[in-house]
Structure 1
Amino acid sequence: MMFPRSIRDAISEVGVILSRRDQARLASIVLATTALAGIEVASLATIASFMLLVTDPGQAGDNWILSTIQSQFDPTSDIIYAGLVGGVLILSVVLRNIIAAGVTWYRLSVVEGLRETVASRLLASYLSQPFSFFYRINSATIAKNVTHEIDDFVSTYMNGIVLLASDVIVSGAIILFMIVQSPGAALIILVSTGALAGTVIVILKNRLGQMGHTHRKLNETRLKLVNESIGSIKEIRLLRRERYFYDLFSRTFRRLTDLHVRYQLMLESPRYILEVAIIIGLFSVFATLVWTSGSIAQAAPSAAVIVLACYRLTPIAHRIVNTFGSLRFNTAIRTAIAEVLVQRGRELEVLERPPVTPLPFRDRITMTAVGFDYDNREGALKEIDLTIRAGESVGIVGRSGAGKTTLVDVMLGLLEPTSGSVWIDDRKLDATAHESWSASVAYVPQFVFLTDASLAHNIAFGLNDDEIDRDLVEDVAHLAQLDDLIAQLPDGLDTVIGEGGNRLSGGQRQRIGIARAFYQDCALLVLDEATSALDTVTESAIQDAIHARRGLITQVVIAHRLTTVKECDRIIVMDAGRIVATGDYETLERDSPHFHALINVHAGPGK
């Protein structure tokens, strides 16, 4: 049997998102619900027996439950008989409710447990993405997917699937009970409610799917606006642009609110239609029973059973329609999560990385005819031929957008060249060598990322307390000229420095980044505008510390301030993705028009 495409897509994507263990636990919920459906029918049969005893005692002998009570207990009076039947009724209802509560608890514990497992796998999957992936996605999108989207997916989508399966099983059991009791009546109810429910689902299907896509986009915009507002608070205050960001956020939230109102209205409206349909169906059933039996008294027992079954079926029918609508609304979330997790197992490679041996680097780094294209820009690097000797100090300069950082990212193995190749000694830097090469390099960016943790944790970065070498932390902090900062902090190296190091100056943040690089036992040290935020005295002191390692490690320095690279063994000048000149400072100053233009820019007008 072929399922509709939407159902096939749902099964496929949920299979990608959930592990086999999670799928097995969800299947166990369905089994538990099947058992509950049987108990539900038994409870209905007991209630129907009690109603038969009340409305038509003369037919009690034809009822299996009532006749069993009579034969087993042989009551001596109607009071005892009624008490026994009532006791069985109460016991069946209590038993049903206890089991229903247990199944509900198990369902919630399993479904809510998905929140942690799916969110953790999703974050791990993001961490395993190629470096170029992060050029194409907004950080607010990642934050939203790992937090809000996971919450919606678990609480609404997965919980909805389990509820839908449970409700279908229970309603199927109730309908089967109705068919056994009165086939004609069951047919009338099924036609009146089933056709209507199916029509409502078809009408809502496409509309809710489109609304779900819009909801995701608005949620993403809302989170992005909050991040941008807080991240640019200094500029907002100075430029007095609070109103601009406030209005953007308010308009987005207003659209989101309007969409939520329409969504909830579309989910709630079918209930009123279904209730009318069931009332009409019940009236038709009662009229049919009276007509076929010849009197109201004869029709009453069967009608009472049908009313009771419909009483249980009505909220379930509404919940099925409601859940289906909710699933359609959240289809976009399911698809977005599945797209990230589609390569099952890749996230485990990130989490379970064994210790690696640093890639030996004793002779040279060679880049041969290297080219690189970003998705939205071709020719970021063009035909790069470059050799860097071990122990050499190399400066890279050029205008903004010349390709300096891209060149270094390819050299570090973060970006895979579109053309050409990179070699470390005689080993090609391909996917099999990335892990060991990353253990051989250290990198200091222009803007150092700091976590809301202690200074020691930010220097060691990504290590637990028992993994941090405190002596080494102190040594590299001294090399990075952090002694004065540590002396000022209340708890020294154990002081929490705040989100993004917001309690520190720009120069202090840079020095922490440099200490972090020194903490790594690296063969290649890359400084990407790493001293641009430092005063000249501190920069000179740190450069002395870096130069002290000259010959011991290979250094690549990206700089706009040409004095930063003046002492390098060799300077590479880049322009428009190409290497246009190379040599020492004096040679380039004399012979390279590109380098001379950079000197004039930094010297200022008229100098």
Structure 2
Amino acid sequence: MIRLIPLEIMRLYKVLPGLYRLRLWGIAMAVFVMAVIDLIGTGILLPILLLVLNDNVVLENKYLALLYNWAGFDSTRSFVFFICMAVLVFSIVRVCLSAWLQYLKDKRLLSISSYLSMRLYRCYYSRGYLFIKQNNSHRLINQVNGVAGNLIQGYFVPFTQLACEIFVTISILIGLIAFNIYVFLLVVFTFVPITLIYYLFSRSRIKEYGKRLYQLVPLKGKLLQQTFIGFTDMEMNNTFPESAARFSGLLKEQNHIMVRNMLLGGSLQKVLEVAIVSSVVVLIVATQLFELPSLGLIVGVFAIAVYRVLPSIIKITGCVFQMKGNSFIFEVLSDIESEPAQGEPVVQNPVDFHHLIEIRDITFSYDKEKMVFCRYSLEIRKGDFVGFRGESGSGKSTLFHLLLGFLQPDSGGIFVDGVLLSSDKLVSWRSRIGYVSQQLFMIEGTLLDNIVMGDSNCLPDMERIRQVLCLASLDHFVDTLPKGVHTPVGEGGSLLSGGQRQRLGIARALYKKAEILMFDEATSSLDENTEHAINESILRLSEECPGLTLLFISHRPESLAICRRIVDISTIQ
């Protein structure tokens, strides 16, 4: 059974909210109006054809004669001139109106595309830390950036064009039936078989090519990012030739597919040219064998039909191929469809930390099989300086992520001053914590931008900036810079040393007035002297800020030596 509206369009319609559904209906109306205008624009050429072929048709055709007498024309020549000018003016108005409707249609389509991108962006982000870490970031980025565009520009836009062209083509074919059923049958039986054979040959290839081209985009992006970020390692290990060869291979595969794709698309017009010649030959032969209207009139009507139908067939086939090539995109809609219904936003409540953090009997596993923690308990008092020690994989970072609320325990809970740390308190809780990891996240901006890390519309407190730079032992370095805190840090902080990046992380945490500082292997990648300097800075912080709670993960005994308390975390089998 042939569906007027594909299932993919119905899926798209269901995931859109009311406002965007109305926009889809508006787009459908715009497409219909454009189709009608286009059809009228084609049909209005018929009076000109009749007048050119026979001047007496003005008096023979009752509609033209009625217009001729009503307007009071005194000669056929002036009437022909009037008809030609009227058709010209109508064509200009038709083009302007169609352009305006096209603008409105595209504007609404792009707004739907933007909505889907934002929906995917929020969907992936809301799935949390574990989902993001377990999925390839390039794939997620490509889907947020590319899927909505492919969905709208690569599927829905062609569908609207397809609907428009089918309407116009069917209307013209009905006009051919009204003119002469035999002419219609001859045209159909020459055009349809050739076009159908071409479509059956090409459709599976088009979808396969479109899907592979889409997959090549993140593969190339990932390879390029790894090349530029890992420049030093590539140079040291001489792996660039291998990466260059892989990139060259991806480019060759892309070019190979694109050439075949363009060949399939470009060959359609050649195929249709063969169909036109076949139709003309059949029509000429038919006029000699059967009682048909004059050859001149037949060829004229056929020319008008082909003038509009041929581009329509090209567009229809192109739209079908484009939709086929992008149909795989709808697999991503399942991410939105599986998204839980959003209820009322969780109202955030403040949480106070004056005395104690309690980890009570928490049990946690990533895969529900191998336990990381089993009924684990721990108490951390305000102002403590606690070091966490354990083998790699023992759960030190996992414990931090549980404390931060990025992971949820299977059982048990985390209590702050006796209050359970639930989802309605996470925003307030995280605002009290400064988190410094081994690979500190840095935006591509200035030192100031990376310390503030907040609303760019709010003016930073420069006095506090100076205080935190001093506490993080970063003030002397900043004073040596010509631009001071307005110095760019480069991509990922590439213009800073490892120690400077870690001190910047400390300054960022202090600027937000964090009551708890968490260091997750923050010094493990530093050389001994730099690590010692950072440890001295952290120790000075604990002495100058007695209410500050410091939690420190390290596998080096030298780093843990500055802590006042050591907690051993053993791997739980």
Out of 301, 306, 312, which is 2:302 matched to? 306
In structure 2, the partner of 1:559 is 554
Out of 463, 466, 469, which is 1:471 matched to? 463
In structure 1, the partner of 2:11 is 12
In structure 1, the partner of 2:228 is 230
Aligned mates of 1:75, 1:344 — CA distance in 2:
71
Name the amino acid aligned to 2:7. Answer: R
In structure 2, the partner of 1:422 is 414
- Give 1:403 deviation, angstroms: 1.4
Secondary structure of the structure 2 residue equivalent to 1:365: strand
Deviations 1:307-354 (A, max 9, x none): 2022211111111111111122122334336625753886996xxx98
TM-score by length of structure 1 reads 0.84
Deviations 1:559-594 (A, max 9, x none): 12223333434311123247xxxxxxxxxxxxxxxx
Deviates more, 1:181-190 or 1:123-132: 181-190
In structure 2, the partner of 1:572 is 567
Aligned mates of 1:426, 1:63 — CA distance in 2:
95
Aligned mates of 2:46, 2:10 — CA distance in 1:
39
Name the amino acid aligned to 2:474. Answer: L
Aligned mates of 1:96, 1:421 — CA distance in 2:
68
C-alpha spacing 1:377/1:557, structure 2 compared with 1 (3 Å): farther
In structure 1, the partner of 2:441 is 449
CA contact (8 A) 1:122 1:341 kept: no
In structure 2, the partner of 1:258 is 256
- Give 1:241 deviation, angstroms: 1.8
Aligned mates of 1:201, 1:14 — CA distance in 2:
28
- Give 1:75 deviation, angstroms: 2.4
Deviations 1:179-220 (A, max 9, x none): 333344334434544455455445444433333332233222
CA contact (8 A) 2:353 2:417 kept: yes
In structure 2, the partner of 1:399 is 391
In structure 2, the partner of 1:502 is 494
Deviations 1:412-464 (A, max 9, x none): 11012234433334333343333333233221111111111121221111321
**Equivalent runs, 1:195-344 vs 2, <5 Å:** 196-198=194-196, 200-285=198-283, 287-288=285-286, 293=291, 297=294, 299-336=295-332, 339-340=335-336, 343=339
CA contact (8 A) 2:385 2:564 kept: yes
2:371 corresponds to 1:379: yes
TM-score by length of structure 2 reads 0.89
Secondary structure of the structure 1 residue equivalent to 2:370: strand
Name the amino acid aligned to 2:89. Answer: L
In structure 2, the partner of 1:76 is 74
Name the amino acid aligned to 2:414. Answer: V
CA contact (8 A) 1:126 1:340 kept: no
Identity %: 24
**Equivalent runs, 1:130-149 vs 2, <5 Å:** 130-149=128-147
Deviations 1:126-185 (A, max 9, x none): 332211011212222233233344544444334323322332333333334333333443
Structure 2 gaps, min length 5: none
CA contact (8 A) 1:421 1:429 kept: yes
In structure 1, the partner of 2:178 is 180
In structure 1, the partner of 2:545 is 549
In structure 1, the partner of 2:474 is 482
Aligned mates of 1:2, 1:360 — CA distance in 2:
63
Secondary structure of the structure 1 residue equivalent to 2:246: helix
Residues matched between the structures, number: 569
Secondary structure of the structure 2 residue equivalent to 1:162: helix
Secondary structure of the structure 1 residue equivalent to 2:415: strand
Secondary structure of the structure 1 residue equivalent to 2:413: strand
Secondary structure of the structure 1 residue equivalent to 2:228: helix
CA contact (8 A) 1:46 1:92 kept: no
CA contact (8 A) 2:358 2:416 kept: yes
In structure 1, the partner of 2:430 is 438
CA contact (8 A) 2:190 2:279 kept: yes
In structure 1, the partner of 2:512 is 520
Aligned mates of 1:276, 1:117 — CA distance in 2:
44
Aligned mates of 1:561, 1:168 — CA distance in 2:
72
Out of 113, 122, 125, which is 1:124 matched to? 122
CA contact (8 A) 1:41 1:177 kept: no
CA contact (8 A) 1:444 1:527 kept: yes
Secondary structure of the structure 1 residue equivalent to 2:6: helix
- Give 1:509 deviation, angstroms: 0.6
